Structure 1
Amino acid sequence: MPHSDSPTRITVISASMGAGHDGAATELTRHLTAAGFLVDRHDFLDLLPARIGKLLSGAYLRLLTWAPAGYQRIYAATEHERRPNPAVRALLRGAERRTLATVTPDTRAVVSTYPGASQVLGALRLRGRLAIPALTYLTDFSVHSLWVAPGIDVHLAAHAIPAAQAHEQGAAGVTVTGPMTDPRFTPADEDERRAARTRFGLPPDAPLALLVAGSWGVGPVREAAAEILGSGVALPVVVCGRNHALAERLRADGIAHVHGWVDDMPGLMHACDVLVQNAGGLTSLEALAGGLPVVSYRCIPGHGRTNAAALDEAGLAPWIREPDQLAPTLTELLHGPRGRAQREAGLALFAAAPGPVPAVTTMARGPLSATALPSQRRPVAARPAVVSDVSGPPTRVPADRLAGVPSDAPRSVPVEALRLPVAARFAARSRQARRRTVLMVAAVAATLSLGAPLAYAYGGSPGHHFGALTHYLEDDDR
């Protein structure tokens, strides 16, 4: 436990891409604070250059909404890439200065719950600019290549399946810690169930299927709601998040129980009998902690489908791939032994491990280490990545990869620039800043796997279309 007179500080970096990354960061912050640490929270989207973060978030949402098939192609094409493409690297490098500024001198560890932040922290660590441990908490049940960042000391996973996927992609210090959710997500007894149904105006006795689609309300939610209702097995209770237009359409479709953003999700889960989800994120873990059986159906592309496959493989949530399997699967989960088995498996997941806080604590209390020089890095495939037992400390970066902290070389300034009048230099820099902003947004929209590489998705090559652009960005950032 940190000394009360000088508490240890930890930085947590998330991203407001939906609510899953932020939800994990919120719980991590709450648990670390309760353990006596000082915690600084930051949104990675605010650390990106030229206010691109919000544009990127909007582009991602529009891609999921308008071109889901394209996003699926993007995700599949980039799922196992060894490193981000040049445009993404250029963008992330632009966030390094602000990211480093979030780490105060008394900070002893920094934790990322978002892959872009992990890439930046890993790069800073490798170049010796970050001298404290950097950890990634994997918020997904499946692991895209962007989650695995060279330079990160420890990758924390909720289950052995994402841990194995991270290991296969060369992640360092993979540790199975178990999941972490708000403690309000607990199983409900019959009295709590009846009280919750009364609060939400739900029928007292009908089987209820809670249908969720994340904070953005994306995916074929209307189709799923209509099919649940048409199955006759359960009544759908739909949570649309902040998608008010979706809520109105569902009501017009005749769905009786439709909610927007719900502050009391533990209570709504207490009122329902099964969770139907399409993304496999934090809400699935919350339902498992609350003793609800979970099923994946009409999943969104990319991480929605890979998370569904991983949850199915883990025996935590069946993935319904065809509509004709919806009714029999819901029947088994609501009334058969399969439902009891799913509830027991979900609760066992939380009982088996303490969550990521002990691993973070171990790293924050440990001795500070220097970091590997780029020239001393091993190839990704050869880098050790051990899946450790949760009872032991997380695996550290091997000693043979450690070296002294290098100093940054000073930047040179062209002599011609010094001869320009002040006003001309200011105008030139303004034009350059505007041009860089436009190019950066275009590069991200075209190539970032979590943003919108539509050219890639529909047959083009990001390297072909944007190679000159990204080369310009990289040269200009040096």
Structure 2
Amino acid sequence: MVVSASFGAGHDGAAAELSRRLRALGHQVDRHDFVDLVPRRAGARLRGLYRRQLTVLPHSWGWLLALAGAPRLAGAAAALTASADDALLAAIGDASAVVSTYPLASQVLGRLRRQGRLAATAITYLTDLSVHPLWIADGVDVHLALHDDVARQAKVLGATDVRVVAPAVAPAFTELVPADALAAVRARLGLPAAPIALVVAGAWGVGSVERAAQDVAATGLAVPVVACGRNDALRRRLNRSGRVVALGWIDDMATLMRACQVVVQNAGGLSSLEALTAGVPVVTYRCLPGHGATNAEALDRIGWVPWIRRRRDLAAGLRAALDRQDRFTPAAALPESFTHLVAA
């Protein structure tokens, strides 16, 4: 069984790819959304609150995440998730292993293992490059990390069996796309012939997206094309500006990324890994508070994605990424250890 949570698309995207790979190996796989397992629609209300928080008062999420290890917040997380224990246990049934891609689901799995109620092996797949305390649940058997540095963070927080594994990125991002197919995508979406900076902000299109796009446009180095996800209000506002191309939900993100010359991201999640796997340069700019900033710092520290912290540095950062474009391939785009893991 694989359990994720529909808080944006990152947790679900990793869960979908893990499920696909396990099925390809001959396993029977059930997949569940943790939001649906919390009784009395409390999960859906929490998701709505989280989305509103990121939209209206994003810095409050940073403050909350900074307190993630505090006993009071840990107790609140335990109380919130306790109501999902029986539903998650029933959903697991006779599964031999459970993989979680969401921290609160991992908290439930750890508690069920500690209580002796869960016989299945409990595994957490860490979707972030930075690890906050709620990711590490006592009782979970194995934590899967995307880099040695992530594994180190997990061990500092008390994880025992931590293994570095390949990122769960769909195979579409490793496939070569013919030039005529890329040209067709550009024409269909109305993209200009000039260099394109694809600005991504997750499924919800949250953060300082408009300011980031306008800043990119002001450099004159690339036309900003914003993937607004399901944020239709953002898409309409940006399209009225005249300097930005704003797109709604995109099903074939792999081809769109390859039709662009650089990806500008703000959260350090799945989109970053997808772009790296596709061989497209990535930079972080105007990142989200909380996990966006900690992921940005981690990606920059391990040398995967440079973090452009100031507006005055944006032009130089974009120019450096664009200058690298001709040398980028799906293998060369990734650090050696990362490429080895993908191949494995």
Within the candidate set 14, 39, 42, 2:4 is matched to 14
Aligned to 1:433: none
| Gaps in structure 1 of 5+ consecutive residues | 1-10, 356-390, 392-478
CA distance in 2, matches of 1:343, 1:306: 26
Say yes or no: does 1:218 pair with 2:206.
yes
Alignment of 1:54-65 (within 5 A): 54-65=44-55
Aligned to 2:21: 31
Listed one character per residue, the Cα deviations across residues 386-434 of structure 1 (whole Å, up to 9, x for unaligned) are xxxxx9xxxxxxxxxxxxxxxxxxxxxxxxxxxxxxxxxxxxxxxxxxx
CA distance in 1, matches of 2:148, 2:72: 23
Cα deviation, residue 346, structure 1: 2.1
Listed one character per residue, the Cα deviations across residues 214-241 of structure 1 (whole Å, up to 9, x for unaligned) are 0000001000010100110110010100
Q: CA RMSD for the aligned pairs? A: 2.1
Contact 2:279–2:328, Cα closer than 8 Å, also in 1: no
Listed one character per residue, the Cα deviations across residues 103-129 of structure 1 (whole Å, up to 9, x for unaligned) are 122x11011000000000000001100
Say yes or no: does 1:170 pair with 2:158.
yes
Aligned to 1:265: 253
Aligned to 1:466: none
Aligned to 1:360: none
Aligned to 1:232: 220
Residue type of the alignment partner of 2:21: H
Contact 1:332–1:338, Cα closer than 8 Å, also in 2: no
Aligned to 1:299: 287
Aligned to 1:119: 107
Cα deviation, residue 339, structure 1: 7.2
Listed one character per residue, the Cα deviations across residues 269-323 of structure 1 (whole Å, up to 9, x for unaligned) are 1110100000011111110110001100000111001111111011111001100
Residue type of the alignment partner of 1:74: L
CA distance in 2, matches of 1:263, 1:61: 21
Contact 2:229–2:248, Cα closer than 8 Å, also in 1: yes
Identity %: 52
Larger Rg: 1
Contact 1:13–1:43, Cα closer than 8 Å, also in 2: yes
Say yes or no: does 1:248 pair with 2:236.
yes
Aligned to 2:275: 287
Q: TM-score, normalised by structure 2?
A: 0.94
Listed one character per residue, the Cα deviations across residues 222-263 of structure 1 (whole Å, up to 9, x for unaligned) are 000101001101100101000000001101222342101001
Q: May I ask how many residue pairs the two structures share in their alignment?
A: 343
Aligned to 1:411: none
Q: TM-score, normalised by structure 1?
A: 0.69
Residue type of the alignment partner of 2:248: G
- Could you list the runs of 4 or more consecutive aligned residues of structure 1 that deviate by over 6 angstroms after TM superposition? none
From the superposition, tell whether residues 83 and 128 of structure 1 become closer, same or farther in structure 2 (CA, over 3 Å). farther
Contact 1:293–1:333, Cα closer than 8 Å, also in 2: yes
Contact 1:274–1:334, Cα closer than 8 Å, also in 2: yes
From the superposition, tell whether residues 341 and 305 of structure 1 become closer, same or farther in structure 2 (CA, over 3 Å). farther
CA distance in 1, matches of 2:13, 2:39: 24
Alignment of 1:52-91 (within 5 A): 52-78=42-68, 80-81=69-70, 84-91=73-80
